Amino acid sequence: MARGRGGVPALAPELLPANVAGRETDAESWCQKLNQRKEKLSRREREQQAEARHLREDVNADPEVQRCSSWQEYKQLLQRRHLQKTQSRPPHLWDQPVTPLLSPGQADSPATVFQHISVLQTTHLADGGAWLLEKSGGLEISFDVYQADAVATFRKNNPGKPYARMCISGFDEPVPDLCTLKRLSYQSGDVPLIFALVDHGDISFYSFRDFTLPRDLGH
């Protein structure tokens, strides 16, 4: 490496990919702006940092990586390790028509594992509702609902976007199946769909909303 006047030296060309050019960087002015005071941490924070450093793998600490003198040798090392992992897989697991969802080399983090083993994809209630429009009959949208404060701009020939769409059903009628819910949700579009169930003069209102389950696997 060639060290320049101001700080960060330029990397040797053989250590970089062919399409990446290394340049010397003058970091002296930035170093003067850094807060050099030692950060005060609590005992719990120091333990958390120590645990994180223990779990974090430093590629530069790998002895085989340290022996690589060029970018090409490092890429060859990664390829050899990949071949070793694939060849060491048990044949009774990987030579069958049905194989595991995750290979040992893909377990980099909890988020990666979850992504590979997840067989259920996120969906919305209105997905696939277009092909259900031909199935008429059953529960239908009864009318659109507009808010009272929108009466001044309401026009019969151009009513605008409704506040909600209402489906009316008797309390003793069967619960709508998934096909009916998907068809009505697709017809309603981005307008909330509300079901009104009438039971001897008492009206109950219900609605279905999409939701996403939380994931605590971002690290």
pLDDT, one tens digit per residue, over 9-37 is 777 777 778 777 777 777 777 777 676 66
CA 55 vs. chain centroid, Å, equals 23
Residue type, position 131, single letter: W
Average pLDDT of the chain?
A: 77
Q: Is the pLDDT of residue 6 over 70?
A: no
pLDDT band at 156 (very low <50, low <70, confident <90, very high): confident
pLDDT digits (tens, 9 = 90+) for 207-217: 887 777 766 65
Q: How far apart are CA 127 and CA 125, in angstroms?
A: 6
pLDDT band at 1 (very low <50, low <70, confident <90, very high): very low
Q: Is the pLDDT of residue 74 over 80?
A: yes
Least Cα distance to 126 among 172, 63, 192 occurs for 192
Residues 182-204: b if buried by 16+ CB within 10 A, e if exposed: bbbbbbbeebebbbebeeeeeee
CA 24 vs. chain centroid, Å, equals 37
Q: How far apart are CA 193 and CA 195, in angstroms?
A: 7
More confident residue, 67 or 115: 67
What number does CATH give the domain 130-207? 3.40.1350
Domains of the chain, by residue range, sit at 130-207
Of 50-59, 66-75, 85-94, 148-157, the range with the highest mean pLDDT is: 66-75
What's the whole-model pTM score? 0.42
| C-alpha angle 192-198-199 in degrees, rounded to nearest 5 | 145
